[in-house]
């Protein structure tokens, strides 16, 4: 292989690696996230990375489901799991998304969802009710 061909091949490989590295962030942008939602996803993926796990991809379908469920919980004033066929972490009252993820990581069942190597997708929501609490929801699937 000539030098110019090797350089082109190397450049192409580097370019592809850069694209693959950006995929989770790119997919997260495909669904418009609030600041709190983006933080939930980032903090969750940070916890996964600390344990050698790949990042979760944001799923438009799971985002819609998590948002609807957080709104439902807030409207009912109830912390109740969804009937959808997904793994789910829910919480209320944490001041922000970072606190919500920290709470989940301190609970064995919630931590197991976040660190489940079988899950590849995530949807999240944080819904604030004026004068009340923030209702948090994470949903996972493979």
88-138 tens-digit pLDDT = 999 999 999 999 999 999 999 999 999 999 999 999 999 998 877 899 999
Mean pLDDT of 6-25: 37
CA proximity to 124, closest of 36, 25, 48: 36
The residues near 16 (Cβ < 8 Å, ≥ 6 apart) are none
pLDDT band at 2 (very low <50, low <70, confident <90, very high): low
131: left (phi over 0), alpha (psi -120 to 50) or beta: left
Q: What is the pTM of this model?
A: 0.78
Q: Which two tokens stand for residue 59?
A: 């799923």
Q: Using CA atoms, how far apart are residues 87 and 32, in angstroms rounded to an integer?
A: 22
How do residues 31-71 score in pLDDT, each as one tens digit?
899 999 999 999 999 999 999 999 999 999 999 999 999 99
DSSP state at residue 31: S
- What length does the chain have? 142
pLDDT at 6: 39
The more confidently predicted of residues 42 and 11 is 42
């Amino acid at each position: 292989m000539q030098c110019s061909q090797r350089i082109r091949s190397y450049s192409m490989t580097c370019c592809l690696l850069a694209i693959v590295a950006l995929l989770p962030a790119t997919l997260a942008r495909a669904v418009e996230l609030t600041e709190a939602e983006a933080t939930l996803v980032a903090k969750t993926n940070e916890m996964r990375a600390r344990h050698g796990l790949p990042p979760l991809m944001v799923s438009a379908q799971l985002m819609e489901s998590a948002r609807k469920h957080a709104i439902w919980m807030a409207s009912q004033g109830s912390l109740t799991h969804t009937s959808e066929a997904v793994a789910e972490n829910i919480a209320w009252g944490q001041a922000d998304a970072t606190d919500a993820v920290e709470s989940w990581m301190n609970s064995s069942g919630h931590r197991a969802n976040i660190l489940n190597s079988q899950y590849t997708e995530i949807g999240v929501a944080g819904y604030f009710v004026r004068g009340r609490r923030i209702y948090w929801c994470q949903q996972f699937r493979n």
